[in-house]
Structure 1
Amino acid sequence: MDWPAVLSLLVAAGLLISLAFRLAPTDVLAMAFLAVLVVVQDLTGTDKLPTPLEAVKGFGNPGLLTIGLLFAVVAGLEMTGATKLATGWFLDRAKTLRGAQLRILAPVAGLSGFLNNTPVVAALIPIVDDTAKRLHTSSSRLLLPLSYAAIIGGMCTVMGTSTNLIVRDEFASRGGEPISFFAPAVVGVPAAVLGVIYMVMFSNRLIPDRRAAVSASDDPKKYTVEMLVDASGPLVGKTIEDAGLRSLAGLYVAEIQRGDDVIAAKPNERLRGDDALILVGALDSVVDLRKIRGLLTPDDQGRKLEIPAWRRTLVEAVVSSRCSLLGKTIREGRFRSNYNAAVVAVARGDRRLEGKIGDVRLETGDVLLLEASPSFIHRAKELRDFFLVSAVGGEAVRRHEKAWYAIAIMVTMVCVAALGWVSILTAAMVATLAMLACRCCTAHEARRAVDWRILIVIGATIGIGSSLEKSGAAEAIAKGVIGLAQGNPKLTLALVYLLTMLCTELITNTAAALIMLTVSLGAAGTLGVNETPFVIAVMIAASASFLTPFGYQTNLMVYTVGGYRVSDYLRFGLPLSLLVFVVAMVMIPWQFPF
């Protein structure tokens, strides 16, 4: 090998090692090592390294742009509560942990085949957490299987993971045969079915009962909150138990006020339109009430605020001794008019406050949960009517009335892309614009939903992969792999798969896929066999990250939330990794002959 090939190998190895040891953020490392190649080529002028223009060509990759747009599409689903609408009716019927796992894992695996699985998991984590609370079990028994189900579901189509999209488009840019929308399904579908069965059967034995290091449910304050039953909503006619209001963790219905009557909150009491529900519970449980379709704030005060819904936030404020409304009820003091904020709930020590929220007389030290604009925090501190004012969670108000629009947009996007009527990029672009036009999310929320670090890593590693190819380093590695496999195509395929899987566990899945794609294509070219089985193997192996929290974004997302240890991933993920490997080695050569 000449010096450009050696330099390319050193850069690739340096990136792998630095990512494995977490020496710096992934996007910074990827850009730093790409910069080494760009600077050296610019100074030497060698034609065996990518020029600066070629090195950054990956940032214009259609797959990269599609991934960014898909983040925005899922933002529309999340901000409207569409994920809860689509899955809630199914999950709410689960009575046992195993039943909940089946109802979560199967739909998630299916959904992840058509949406980028990273934002899907982000949207479903709070829903899964709610289900765990309702079943009085640890969320650790559900969150790691959720991540794994999203991963194996994403293997089923080229749209399911960012890895599949990038590998498909990069292979096409090098003159490879087009990879169809459902090509990875030959491995993904059987692996998903067997994987879900494995997780349901063995998760209770292999995943310990973990607790997150910090839990909002430990909040000692007991809020009293009033919610109205929407007369045109889905809760009318349901009993308290059927509506899911008896199983809210850390929250209970204290009484129902129906006109001038106070009714005991018995499990079999049927709800009527405009019933006022008086509930008592901890902060996180009160916040969760806002996600339930069919419940409104008292007199729908939030809608009367001079602030659009997408700009409101939840604020916790403690009433100070200087507050001008002391001794007055919230209604008498015209709280909304004075502060342009709606009182959602009130807490006074650990006592339960009687009656409706509007009838509560404010006292010094009362804690109010308010729906207001972000600027309320600064304005309230200047007025000195409150102290210890802080935002809660930072979660925007969900636009429930737009949920069906978001679902229709997502389903249309998937259908037109799967049928090949337009490209995936075109479908994602139109779907993003439709989400914005229908106000399912704002432009700010769409931009905030995009994980720019992932896009930067993808763009930079495409440049590093091109350096391995252009310098001849990839061909040298491929010959070494072929020599180890003694020229056997199936054994070479297995080694490519295992090397890709190992790299994925140590670094990011996209970086591993792009580097190993170059190596695998070199191996196929040297053997003189069909390249497609090697491309499919890289797609599957780069996604099959089950052994560590760091190889795949969704694994890292549930790591802290579920209170996991690294050993939990190895214990639960190793059998799943072996299962997917066996399925891949059987199905790929059968469907894509050498």
Structure 2
Amino acid sequence: MAIEAWLSVLSVVAVLLALTVTRIAPDAILMAALAFLVVTGVLEPSQALVGFSNTGVMTIAALYVVAAGLKETGAVLWVANGLLGHPATLKRAQLRMLLPASTLSAFMNNTTVVAMFIPAIQEWSHKLGLSPSKLLLPLSYVAILGGTCTLIGTSTNLVVDGLLQSQKGVALGMFDLAWVGVPLLLLGGTFLMLFADRLLPRREGVIEQIDQAREYSVEFVVTQGGPLEGKSIAEAGLRNLRHGYLADIERGERLMTAVPPETQLVGGDVLVFIGAPECARELRQIRGLTPANGDIHKLDIANHHRCLVEAVIGPDFAGLGQTVRQSRIRSRFQAVILSISRQGRRLPGKVGDIRLQVGDTLLMETGQDFVDQYRYRKDFLLVSALNDSTPPNFHKAPVAIAVLAGLVIAAGVGLLSILEAALLAGGGMLVTGCITVSKARRYVDLSVLIVIAASFALGAAMTTSGAAQAIAEALVADWMSPWLALAVVYLLTVLFTETITNNAAAVLMFPLAMSVADHLGVSYMPFAIAIMFAASASFMTPLGYQTNLMVYGPGGYRMLDYLRLGAPLSLLVGASAVALIPLVWGF
């Protein structure tokens, strides 16, 4: 291979290693690779930046706004609540959940669908006496399968379609993938109905663990004119208690939550501490504090001054690997962590000493506006208020659904291209007031768009340098049949998807798949379609697909649960896809 080819392979290997073993943001990694390819002369700037003008990437950006409108109006829950109902058995509950989740995922971002369904299913399973662990992982899997049924169901489909348009001049229709996607959804859904109950353990989610997680609270009053009046919390020695921590300060009619250490104490302040029962004995030894009452009591989770929030830590959380105290969550998010669950278990010990990891589920006490303020941030994959009794405002939901229906019909009948229909639908959400411009802007995930667009540079380098052709020749033997080569491409894409992002896996595998087809002298379409399905078929780890990680904490899952249910599902979907794809798109 030429020096450009070796540099291209080196870039791909470096990106794969960085995405797998480091915590560097994926968009930073991909942009660094893009810069390297330009500086070394492997690609011209126009070649390296071609992804930023790709129709697939722009379509994904527009669909973020459409999904935001559906979420903000409560349209997803409006549909889901009407279909969930009150089933008497777990099988019926799974069926009622799988149908709306898969249908909605076919036409909107499945991350949004799962995010909207999680709190609803938690409450639903609690009322029905069912374990959320029996429902949430199947929800993620069926949302993934539903997304493969249409071109707009997942960003991966749009990315590969954009590559086909730019390199081969071929554009797929809205429902072309349904010939394979629908059978896979039916097979996968049937498998989940038959085996999810047997293969998934019964575990408690966060809602069921609240009574165990909340520990105890005790109230002390700052003595008027005492030695603590006028001192800060830190100066008073209230920041490093052995058996508890200061959660709130009640000052007159005002409740102060997540108070910073520099807050000055005022005589008459009621200090609310959370911790073990020994916390009260420890506090009685501090001069200037007197018990507000003689009782140690469980925290009142229905207190109207407080809001319980469940948040799942994402890979972009700034405090990963740090203890709760080091991460400064109190000052950064104005929230107090009451409990941390990991792999379905509440972590024992003092909360402040626990080191945070991706997928940890935090049970926090905070102000009423926390959910609205932080649900757009990338620190958390899921933010939901556990005791939020305020019903959503559904009056715009029919409008949002009508806008989505217009998008599907216009693109489905060929009246408009997918990009044109998505742009008009996004504009429709804004014009009709389903979502404001400021909120729409926050819903557009720029980091994901940058990852996708920058990945195109790696694909272009592999193609133009000849690296993809050389690897394909080494990978595919002359005696290998097209069916076997298709299976190899599918397997490699699945392995990439389980270790790096699904979109990056699709872009990296696309030039290799094209070279394999060219080497065998067969049509490239089966291989392109196989990449679409394989890049979405992430069932074996919580890290391979965002929806898998979102249900990790709320369902109380452990790593083995994903392998136990996901591995046979992955084999079933993979074998079926490899068998069906050539029947629709022949070699």
Q: TM-score, normalised by structure 2?
A: 0.71
Deviation at 1:18, TM superposition (A): 1.7
Report if aligned partners of 1:71, 1:119 keep a CA contact under 8 Å in 2. no
Q: In structure 2, what is the equivalent of residue 394 of structure 1? A: 371
For 1:66 and 1:421, locate their aligned partners in 2 and report how far apart those are by CA, in whole Å.
16
2:202 is matched with 209
Distance (Å, rounded) in 1 between the aligned partners of 2:549 and 2:253 = 46
Report 1:112-261 matches (<5 A). Answer: 112-212=105-205, 217-218=210-211
Whether 2:423 is the aligned partner of 1:486: answer no
CA contact (8 A) 2:11 2:33 kept: yes
Q: 522-531 or 396-405: which moved more?
A: 396-405
Once the two structures are superposed, residues 154-184 of structure 1 have per-residue CA deviations (whole angstroms, 9 ceiling, x without a partner) of 1112111100111011111002433232222
User: Would you say 1:40 and 2:17 are equivalent positions?
Assistant: no
Distance 1:95 1:15 in 2: 49
1:65 lines up with 2:58 in the alignment:
yes
Classify 1:177/1:401 alpha carbon distance in 2 versus 1 (closer, same or farther; 3 Å): closer
1:321 aligns to 2:228 (yes or no): no
- 1:449 match: 443
Report if aligned partners of 1:319, 1:366 keep a CA contact under 8 Å in 2: no
Q: Is 1:539 matched with 2:538? A: no
The alpha carbon displacement at 1:391 in A equals: 3.5
Matched, 1:429 2:366: no
Q: Is this contact kept in 2: 1:67–1:116, CA < 8 A?
A: no
Amino acid at match of 1:320: R
- Matching residue's letter, 1:514: V
* Mapped pair 1:582 → 2:575: yes
The Cα offsets for residues 55-83 of structure 1, whole Å up to 9 and x where unpaired, read as 11101211111112212211111111111
State the distance in 2 between where 1:509 and 1:131 align: 31
CA distance in structure 2 between the partners assigned to 1:545 and 1:413 by the alignment:
28
The answer as to whether partners of 1:116 and 1:161 remain within 8 angstroms in 2 is yes
**CA–CA distance in 2 between the matches of 1:458 and 1:393?**
30
* Helix, strand or coil at the partner of 1:151: helix
Alignment of 1:323-342 (within 5 A): none
Q: Could you tell me how far 1:90 is from its partner in structure 2?
A: 1.3
- Which of 507, 510, 514 matches 1:514? 507
- Does residue 81 of the first structure (1) align with residue 74 of the second (2)? yes
Q: Work out the CA distance in 1 between the residues paired with 2:182 and 2:304.
A: 51
Q: Give the deviation of 1:464 after TM superposition.
A: 0.7
Aligned-partner residue type, residue 104 of structure 1: M
Given that residues 550 and 556 in structure 1 are in contact (C-alpha distance below 8 angstroms), is that contact kept between their aligned partners in structure 2?
yes
- Paired residue type of 2:401: I
Residue type at the aligned position of 2:533: I
Q: TM-score when scaled to structure 1?
A: 0.70
Determine if contact 1:207/1:572 at 8 Å carries over to the other structure.
yes
Q: Which residue of structure 2 lines up, in the alignment, with residue 438 of structure 1?
A: 432
Q: Deviations over 1:409-442 (max 9, x none)?
A: 1121112111111111111111112212222111
Taking a change above 3 Å as real, the CA distance of residues 114 and 323 of structure 1, as seen in their structure-2 partners, is: closer
**CA–CA distance in 2 between the matches of 1:536 and 1:176?**
15
Structure 1 counterpart SS, 2:553: helix
Contact 2:122 2:207 in 1 (8 A): no
1:262 maps to which residue?
none
Aligned partner of 1:196: which letter?
G
What SS is found at the alignment partner of 2:164? helix
Query: Residue 558 in 1 paired to residue 551 in 2?
Result: yes
Q: Is the 8 A contact 2:111 2:547 kept in 1?
A: yes
For 1:583 and 1:98, locate their aligned partners in 2 and report how far apart those are by CA, in whole Å.
24
Q: How far 1:92 moved relative to its partner?
A: 2.3
Check the 8 A contact 1:140/1:210 in 2, yes or no. Answer: yes
Partner of 2:9: 9
* 8 Å contact kept, 1:493–1:537: yes
1: CA distance, partners of 2:512 / 2:573: 21
After TM superposition, give the deviation of residue 576 of structure 1 in Å: 0.8
Structure 2 residue aligned with 1:410: 404
Deviations 1:316-362 (A, max 9, x none): 997633679xxxxxxxxxxxxxxxxxxxxxxxx8899xxxxxxxxxx
The residue aligned with 1:461 is 455
Q: Deviations over 1:272-294 (max 9, x none)?
A: xxxxxxxxxxxxxxxxxxxxxxx
Q: Which amino acid aligns with 1:585?
A: V
Equivalent pairs: percent with the same residue?
Answer: 43
Question: Is the Cα–Cα contact under 8 Å of residues 143 and 562 in structure 1 kept in the other structure?
Answer: yes
Cα distance change on mapping 1:214 and 1:7 into 2, 3 Å: farther
Q: CA RMSD in A?
A: 2.9
Unaligned runs of 5+ in 1: 42-48, 222-315, 325-348, 353-364, 371-380, 382-387
